[in-house]
Structure 1
Amino acid sequence: MAQPCSSTSFSNEPGSDYIVNLNVGGRIFATSCNTLSWIPDSFFTSLLSGRMNSVRDVSGAIFIDRDPDVFRVILNYLRTKQVDLGGLKVSTLKHEALFFGLTPLIRRLTLCEELSSTSCGSVYFCGMIPPPDMPVEALPNEKSRSPMYSNSSDSNDSKNKTNGSPRHRVHSKKQSSDMSRYIKNELSELAKSKSLLDRDTEPLKVRMIRAHICSIVVAYSYFVCVYRVTEWNTYVLLWKSPRTRTYVTHIAVNTKISATVAERFVAVAFQDDTIGLWHIDDEGKTEKKGETLLYECLNR
């Protein structure tokens, strides 16, 4: 015949188990000593071992002045070692687990709380940049080249004129050691040409976004927009490039802030392997620093 577990009959010996009647907030729960005491150094081990004074009701059940709905979930965890919130908040159950000193349950609930939080802050709607008008002005067709490349090109032109032979493509002049580079460039050109139709049909589709400090650069198919982020999380359009002769493939921005103003340098790479560099201040004043022609395709 089972005996009710009292403060004097509690034992940690294997096989010693007794029925325990608990009155939690006016609701009676019946369980066993082993169910309540498998977690060491908890509220229940102290209560059943006599280290903590207990209060009993008229029926002899140990009275615990806690919420019975939350205790039902606690007791279910002690029985099954599974967590069933039963509509409770994680924070509410964790608060009760801390009161009863249930260390394994506290650790599990802490992990659940970390899953719903982030160490870098929550994502919230800050603002929206409206689409700009399509520019109609085109950039000039002449290409500015670096001095070193221009000298090499002029030398090759004069050599062709001296020999009386027609000018060949630059790739055909490369040595056999550069053949792999040539093939790579040709494959890259082929991939770019396949996406040309999509870029033409969706000229206002955003292709790339780059940001640095208080500057945001948005690249469309054939033009680039530079925005400044204000203290009120609004976006001021500083500069919109004219329509380019070929579509944009890469963009980069670097912002420098002084005591009075902020200036930014924007680099734009185009399909024809040219790279343009612009300087833009907070007032929207733009100065083109130069343009360089490369014969190596940019893949990053």
Structure 2
Amino acid sequence: FIGSCVSVLSGEVAQLHYCCFVYRFSTSRQTLTWVPDSFFSRSIFIDRDPSLFAPILNFLRTKELHPRAINVHMLMHEAEFYGIAPLVRKLQLCDELDRSSCGNVLFNGYLPPPAILNVFKGMDSDLFSVLCVCVRVRVCTCLRARVCLGQSSDPGMVRIICGHHNWIAVAYTQFVVCYRVKESTGWQQVFTSPRLDWVIDRVALNAKVMGGSLGDNDKMVAVASVTEIILWAICPDGNGNEIGVFSLGVPVEALFFVGNQMIATSHAGKVGVWNAVTKHWQNQDVVPISSYDTAGSLLILGCNNGSIYYIDVQKFPLRMKDNDLLVTELYRDPTEDAITALSVYLTPKTSDSGNWIEIAYGTSSGTVRVIVQHPETVGSGPQLFQTFSVHRSPVTKIMLSEKHLISVCADNNHVRTWTVTRFRGMISTQPGSTPLTSFKILSLDDVDGHGGCSAGTEIGPYGERDDQQVFIQRVVPDTDKLYVRLSSNGKRVCEVRSVDGTSITAFTVHECEGSSRIGSRPRRYLFSGHSNGSIQMWDLTTAMEIAGKVDIRALGGPTEEELLELLDQCDLALTRTPDSTPRASTCRYMFSY
């Protein structure tokens, strides 16, 4: 046997010229064929990795396996190819020694696919779209139903997860489910929407409605697809009442809540606001939007003309008569580059006149700037504080926190970080923001979009502004593994792996409130959604504590071996690297309203 790359030419075995070495194996027909119906009972031509063939041949000779000296996953793949069932079973058992369906110490919970999935999976989506048997016929036409339903190949996979307080909302292809957690009863499913006639692209959750006509205990969840938004109120008993169906008129790029106000924005230059008190929906034309963030009751918009605008949504009901959302220009970039990422940091109150406001933003040219506004000089507007020209591609994400300034550009998620110096809580130039590290968060996307939703797989950074943030890295679309990395230096906190072997299609990081016990603090969790519709939960608070006790200086994202193994399992023809199109800043997840 020639155990290297070979090809068959005119019925003869010929070695390829680029092979620099040859492995020769000698064995008997009896050894190779003792497993019935395997590869060797039908063929003797081998075009496989010779280094992995050696332990396979040794198993056929001795029927013994020494797992400590082999790569179990790679050998299992080869054993499956050769059809050696006894070896495959042994390797599966070896794999299960280090991997339990109950997960490791970080595994915190498992929510099975909702029962309604079985009903939906039994329905023929193509027939549904052709007949237009729509739950919401007033929202879509037959043509639109046909287009939307064809966008997802698997209606049972999780597309998006979002959290607020002790609640999470999970969006599937055509419906959304809400769960809440209590210390005594654990996670409970409390709301399931009707089946929609289009694919959900965005989801938003407000689990703490402050007063208003909905009642103190009511919650709200909203979903969007293309231009339409549906909003429900969730009652204390878990039932949901539809509040309304609203149209932004252009594709909804972001959907979120600021207090009781539901906000929808679009890159096309539209802002829509629904207010819980007035129960009024209002659209506002603005300059094309390329990023946004929130700060208290303020909605901050970064626009293509280089300007930063703000809307005080608390004042929204007061402006109903003239149908104006009171959009005010806050700052204009000196070079008028498009503002492609925004992050607002509110320091502790320093005077009776207000907060010291700090804003970090990135531009389409790769520039990163920090501007600040003193409480005593609110009327004069923010002043330029620092400028960094370290990116050569558009900045896609930015985060300004108590200790760090973090920016990400479109060059395969290239991250640059700085340490931030503060004096009495306020950013300082002594010694100023100093460079900390540079790394990449490689994440290949699914070209056809069937593997999930881009809104459900944002890398971050996730975390509170006064704590260490993390990035979540899913290298290839069809994988059961995620890497959790510190946003400040890129080092690996931990890796999590699906307990049931299913692919991870969506994820988010969210802090759930502590228990009622005195001194109990919120805990941070990673929620992963899977191709089979399940939700798996991972304890990042414990992961961060463990990482703080061990030396993680030498461990970052996937190692070269891990990366190659992931890429080997992925069809690169069906994936793409992140494009250079600026997206809305993900730092909106960092605020509690």
- Please tell me the TM-score bracket, short chain as reference: 0.3 to 0.5
Q: Structure 2-normalised TM-score?
A: 0.20
Higher helix share: 1
Higher strand share: 2
Q: Structure 1-normalised TM-score?
A: 0.38
